[in-house]
Structure 1
Amino acid sequence: MVAVVGAGVLVVVLVMVGFAVFGGVGFPEAKYRLRVPAELAGGTFELSADLSGTEGRRIVEENRNRSHVRNPTAVVGSYTGAGEQDGSRLVVSGLYGRFRSPAETRDDMLEGADEAEGATVAVPARDVPVRGSQVTVECMVLTSEQDGMPRNVPMCVWADDNTSASVGVVTDENVYQDPDKVDLEKVARITLQVREEMREPIG
């Protein structure tokens, strides 16, 4: 199979989402951080580019002076599918530090997608429960033009006291689907795998 969407397109869409954090009272203790591993989702995606030092720096600068964020650090990774996921793309754009309202963090990340250059919201954000998990994941479908054709960019976000990220997963199955038929529960499950594999205790 061939790549279904350019990595650059996916990176731009997700990095442009933004990470404004609002609301809440007080800041939690910093207990967790995010890393950029060589593989994600059980080894089905392999790291092709760690953009934390470039795109990640832009995210940090946007959040450094916000009164609702403490000690922000950003990680951005672009991944290509392996094995059964050959031709797929996964991009994770995350921030870790000390956040005041996880719910507001998720909402603001998703609202930022409305302003992402070259992206249109095709399926509005909604909670996507995953059986066996207590973590709230919200997902949506963006569309982005590439080579004159609209392509889907399904994405999900999570946020907790210390970590937040948007995860975009584009496959040959979902890229040209009717956006309303994209399996967002599948993307949510992958997002929770990504969270499990990227999030690690500090110290």
Structure 2
Amino acid sequence: MALLIVAWVAIVFSKGGTDGDFPEARYRLTLPKTLLGGEYEMEQDFSDSPQDSFEQHAESALGGRDIRAAVAIYTPADRGGQLNVSGMYGRFKDADDARDTMLKDAADPDGISVARAPEDFRPSGSDVTVTCQVVAKADLNMRVIMPLCAWNDGNTGALIGEIDPAVSSGDAKDVDLAGLAERTLRIRAELRQPIS
């Protein structure tokens, strides 16, 4: 399931634009060893993996410039499951389109389908829209669901996917997407740092 989070990078769309169409780079993403007050601990950091393909595809697919990847898997400290962070930072011409494309392409690989359509959330005090959906994968006569939330603010963007055993075998309509959007904003606050 972790691979589906980054599967969208293989889909390439041609999007151009002059340099003046892109925002100034003011923020980047970091990958701390823990997230959400120690609730999650990093299991694997893909920062040292070859990222050229990821970054080139992200630039083309998401209409970005100067893209750098921030991709990691986190595991809960006290229960089963997994939190996947597929992030990137740079300069994105159209933040809303980039966010929507991330979610659309996450449901594109064979065997993955949208179990609950994307919904936009902008919790009180937020400066960015978070869009969440639920995807499903059928495997060995089992259907597993996973919620995905994404943001893009023009400088940073990420697709956050959480595999929770308490949720994965349930009904997509019962997933608390509003709560996950707020949780995604908390994760964003921990990952996003000003460029010094």
- Does 2:66 align with 1:71? yes
CA apart distance, 1:186: 2.1
Is 2:72 the partner of 1:90? no
Greater RCO (CA < 8 Å, at least 6 residues apart): 1
Aligned to 1:30: 25
Q: 1:65 Cα shift?
A: 5.6
Is the counterpart of residue 12 in structure 1 residue 7 in structure 2? no
Which is worse superposed, 66-75 or 15-24? 15-24
Q: Name the CA distance, whole Å, in 1 between partners of 2:50 and 2:110.
A: 15
Q: What percent identity do the matched residue pairs reach?
A: 36
Q: Which amino acid aligns with 1:100?
A: K
For residues 117 and 55 of structure 1, the distance between their equivalents in structure 2, rounded to whole angstroms, comes to 25
Q: Secondary structure at the match of 1:29?
A: coil
1:127 corresponds to 2:120: yes
* Equivalent in the alignment of 2:42: 47
Q: Report the TM-score, using the length of structure 2 for normalisation.
A: 0.87
Distance (whole Å) between structure 1 residues aligned to residue 188 and residue 40 of structure 2: 14
1:59 and 2:54 aligned: yes
C-alpha RMSD of matched pairs (Å):
2.4
AA of the residue aligned to 1:118:
G
Task: Choose 128-137 or 190-199, whichever is displaced more.
Answer: 128-137
Alpha-carbon shift at residue 64 of structure 1 (Å)? 4.7
Structure 1 portions without partners, runs of 5+: 1-8
Alpha-carbon deviation of 1:66?
6.8
Counterpart code for 2:159: S
Extract unaligned runs of 5+ from structure 2.
none
Report if aligned partners of 2:62, 2:97 keep a CA contact under 8 Å in 1: no
Deviation at 1:115, TM superposition (A): 1.2
* SS of aligned partner of 2:167: coil
Q: Where does 1:52-201 land on structure 2 (aligned, <5 Å)?
A: 52-54=47-49, 56-64=51-59, 68-83=63-78, 86-201=79-194
**What is the Cα deviation at residue 134 of structure 1?**
3.3
Instruction: Report SS of the residue matched to 2:104.
Output: helix
CA distance in 2, matches of 1:167, 1:67: 16
Deviation at 1:81, TM superposition (A): 0.5
TM-score, with normalisation over the residues of structure 1? 0.85
Matched pairs, number: 192
Three-state SS of the structure 1 residue aligned to 2:25 is coil
SS at match of 2:190: helix
* Cα pair 1:141 1:179 within 8 Å, conserved: yes
